[in-house]
Structure 1
């Protein structure tokens, strides 16, 4: 499969106002790609766009709103005639065990992480099909390889993104559009510190758990962005980001039903949302 030419073509990036999405936008702009940036945070998105020396449009969208997503894609395709890549970086987190979480809280995260990804992909697919060659890059997670306790809605949504990506790749086999998934581990984006937690959890306990998780993050967003862009250009089906992701990938292959015995101890503080603050 030939590498994808991103320069002078348009890449659509969701979650572009911060974290890996913003880092990918900066890297692609420096390489001459045109950009359509999508996020719900208007102020932060416009701030990122103002940094970029390239053709760029911004689209303020709540990805949970299907009608808004399809309307935004109409605006994107009208402004950008040469779209050949979609990178879905939008997502959030949710702390809490099943007893603490409400159905509404779990549905909210699934709507953001999964259905937002599905919606923007479905809406943009006709434009991607029209390109001589195109690639879709979905951000899954290391928790789409291994599902820890205390992260049910996040793992649920990311495993589903993984399944969606793989099934779509098989559907599009033999077409001009390829599909890949990225499996990052421990990227310092602030997602866990700024994410949500179950309302039933003591806020101080949630803060402690989130901080313990954040201490395990070692990869810088710019380094993760470089891997994401490389995977998009090379049209890779599966890409690990970070040493921990590679280790967990091997661990789950070797012990698909016993990997939690190895992961439980290092994650014990990050998944503890019940022990009161002394």
Structure 2
């Protein structure tokens, strides 16, 4: 009997430790203290982070963040929520701290884990000031009373409790490119790995949906369309830094082809950045390790 009591006690301790390290962890209450929002910078962060690309409807204006766009995956179909300033169907009633916790920690206003279809695994590397700024800009945009639609996920993926262990395994905050010796590369790394969350599409994933960092930017299967999302490391992408920067501005390739599909939406965002920012993103892409096809 004593042995089984010890085993039971150890099992309870294990469950308790597991729950503690995987429970939702919003930002601390004083995280935003002393930060004053700059809506002009927030508009730039809004573009860099691609908010409109996911949270507008297929045919809606880019400032009406009514949600509804669907994203197919191996785990089911996710539906982007209304993040407009509407206080009922959007996030107008959320505090700045609650919104920042959603963006950087993947924790909803109700304290539950959010699904990583929302790329907080990239946004968790963002500067708090930029997050405060983009929240302030979001509040200036029109409200939409479009109700949110539920995700269409099969069991067990519809159980949010499993997201705690997933975050523990895959939601690290370290940059993948560790060696960034110049201000340009530091800026490019920030734009690509954090705000732009480019890797969420261009890096393959393992069976649990975590990014395979050994094949960083090495291309991935397309979840909702035929074909593949391309490898954009120097093993395949031979464009110069200037050609990459021009593509991010105009959508034109060196061969005078144009960006299409989802990348066309990305270009709408990167075209709003400065020439220096696009050059920094290009420098970053030339600096990451090549990944063979």
Q: Same fold (TM over 0.5)?
A: no
TM-score (norm: length of structure 1)? 0.27
- Report 1 or 2 for greater relative contact order, CA contacts < 8 Å, sequence distance ≥ 6: 1
Structure with the higher fraction of residues in helix conformation: 1
TM-score (norm: length of structure 2)? 0.26
Larger radius of gyration: 2
